[in-house]
Amino acid sequence: MKKILFLLPLLFTMIALQAAVRLPSIIGSHMVLQQKSTVKLWGWSAPAENITIKVGWDTTTYKVTASRGARWVAEIKTPTAGGPYNITIKGSNEILLEDVLIGEVWVCGGQSNMEWSADQGLPQSKEESPNATNKQIRFFYVPKSTSSTPQDDVIAKWVVCSPEDMLHFSAIGYFFGKQINASTGFPVGLINSNWGGTPAEVWTPEEIITHDPDLLHAAEKLSPAAWWPHIRGEAYNAMIYPITQFSIAGAIWYQGESNVGTHFMYKRLFTSMIDSWRKAWGKTFPFYFVQIAPYTYGDTHINGAFLREAQTQSAVHPKTGMVVVSDLVDNVKDIHPKLKKEVAARLANYALSETYGVKGLAYKSPTYASHAVEKGSIRIQFKDVPTTLISKGGELTDFFIAGADGVFVPAKARIEEKTVLVSAKTVKDPLHVRFGFTNTAMPNLFSAEGLPVNLFRTDF
């Protein structure tokens, strides 16, 4: 009898805990909610439980009832950027969320070049750390995890940007968020969800690849590795899907190195991945990404260029933008260039211009527009050249020209305002030009505003 009486309080406690209102990790103190939006707060409780929510920025009391499946969701209107605020969520128990900011939320995704931080020895992050106390920037670090099915939650928490936490966070994410905050004055929430080495297939819902024979064929060519997953959808299920109810402003992305071997399907794969994320979030949010940097891939001298070309083609997808970083490489034998602050600045300039309407920023690299044969030469026209083109250091490099035989030879090239005239003595009747179209090319052709001209080829 005594044993039964002893167990009863424990039993009642367990029942109470099972019925308690609970929240996913992405909803917590110190979070940033997307401004001027209808955002979702959601969680679990007893079935049919009545839940009230009060927010610090208005006097509205929100009321919801949990479903028979013990889930509930409330839609909350957010004001313009500001805070901090408190949020109270009450059912059979009460949860107080403190220090909540209203601002801009960005997902930072991809592989190691997005993941890398001071933990990996980045000097820029270490130098920045003493100055990284900023209550207007918040971090949410999704831990590495995989799943064969979509998951409801991750094990993580929001933290206020501090010198210590900044050291462990994506360097590109941090510097991007710092610039957005400094330029707009808005609080910034950064969701770090990336994994070094991962191909894009693992960030794409499995059914998209399975139902596309060409994508499936390319996915089957991926080689397993000991340090990252390669099975389609596994990172999406565990590291993206659980946060897709959380309202965001957009995503930044740096990935592609692990898909060089299947570059021929990357455009379809990448744009399908973007569309799947947008469908899951229910919003065509901006998606800005980094073109992979020059690197000595071991297979051929050109597969990396094919991947960069596929990324360039992907940049015509709605509400996307690509930054070129062919000049931000300290060692082409290192797949992890160290100049992450500069990469982040280009991403931030893109977002500030396209998403936040800031005027006067140079943010688009010049790209190939058209070409015409002129008396033994080929003239190249470019898009996105605000003033003129320049050479950084002597004669232009990395131009090649070919005739009807398709044999490309090094070419002479000269700038004529917004165009480039290309020729070679050994090619009397030129047909095609390639520029920067090798794995390791770091051309010296730039816009006068300081952005590198993107690679291109006319022979396809």
Which two tokens mark 116? Answer: 């890398």
* Contact in structure between 403 and 386 (CB atoms under 8 Å): no
Q: How many residues does the chain have?
A: 460
Supply the DSSP string of 382-419, one letter for each residue: EES-SS-EEESSSS--SEEEE-TT---EE-EEEEETTE
**One-letter amino acid for residue 132 of the chain:** A
The strand ranges marked E within 36-187 are 38-44, 50-55, 61-65, 71-77, 82-90, 94-110, 134-141, 158-161
Mean pLDDT of all residues in 264-271:
98
Out of 28-32, 39-43, 116-120, 437-441, least confident range = 116-120
| Tokens 């894009």, located at residue | 200
Q: Is 60 exceeded by the pLDDT of residue 7?
A: no
Which two tokens mark 202? Answer: 């693992």
Which two tokens mark 306? Answer: 């094919």
Q: Is 70 exceeded by the pLDDT of residue 8?
A: no
For position 334, what pLDDT does the model report? 96
For position 103, what pLDDT does the model report? 98
What's the rounded Cα separation, in Å, for the pair 314 and 316?
A: 5
What's the rounded Cα separation, in Å, for the pair 207 and 275?
A: 13
Mean pLDDT of all residues in 356-370:
98
* Contact in structure between 97 and 321 (CB atoms under 8 Å): no
Q: Is 90 exceeded by the pLDDT of residue 101?
A: yes
Say which DSSP state 298 is in: S
What's the rounded Cα separation, in Å, for the pair 264 and 314?
A: 12
Radius of gyration of the chain (CA): 25
Q: Dump pLDDT digits (tens) for 203-231.
A: 999 999 999 999 999 999 998 999 999 99
Q: How does strand 419-423 pair with strand 94-110?
A: unpaired
For position 2, what pLDDT does the model report? 45
* Contact in structure between 176 and 149 (CB atoms under 8 Å): no
Domains observed in the chain: 1-363 (3.40.50.1110), 368-457 (no CATH)
**Distance between alpha carbon 188 and the CA centroid of its chain, in Å?**
15
pLDDT band for 1, please (50, 70, 90 cuts). low
Q: How does strand 134-141 pair with strand 188-194?
A: parallel
Out of 16-30, 88-102, 211-225, 372-386, least confident range = 16-30
**Nearest in space to 425 (alpha carbons), one of 435, 405, 404, 410:** 410
* Contact in structure between 81 and 102 (CB atoms under 8 Å): yes
Q: Dump pLDDT digits (tens) for 324-338.
A: 999 999 999 999 999
For position 338, what pLDDT does the model report? 96
What's the rounded Cα separation, in Å, for the pair 105 and 251?
A: 9
* Contact in structure between 290 and 275 (CB atoms under 8 Å): no
SS3 (DSSP) at 370: strand
Average model confidence (pLDDT) across the chain: 95
**Omega before residue 84 within 30° of 0, cis:** yes
- In sequence order, which residues have a C-beta less than 8 Å from that of residue 78 and are 6 or more positions away? 33, 34, 35, 36, 37, 38, 39, 57, 102
Helix/strand number for the chain, H first, E second: 11, 23
Q: Is 70 exceeded by the pLDDT of residue 295?
A: yes
Mean pLDDT of all residues in 379-396:
97
CA distances from 228 to 204, 209, 224, 285, 388 (A): 15, 19, 8, 28, 44
What's the rounded Cα separation, in Å, for the pair 30 and 158?
A: 6
Q: Is 60 exceeded by the pLDDT of residue 67?
A: yes
What's the rounded Cα separation, in Å, for the pair 449 and 354?
A: 18
What's the rounded Cα separation, in Å, for the pair 145 and 193?
A: 10
Q: 197 φ, ψ to 5°?
A: 90, -10
**Nearest in space to 63 (alpha carbons), one of 41, 81, 46:** 41
**Nearest in space to 379 (alpha carbons), one of 331, 411, 426, 425:** 411
Which two tokens mark 175? Answer: 């510097």
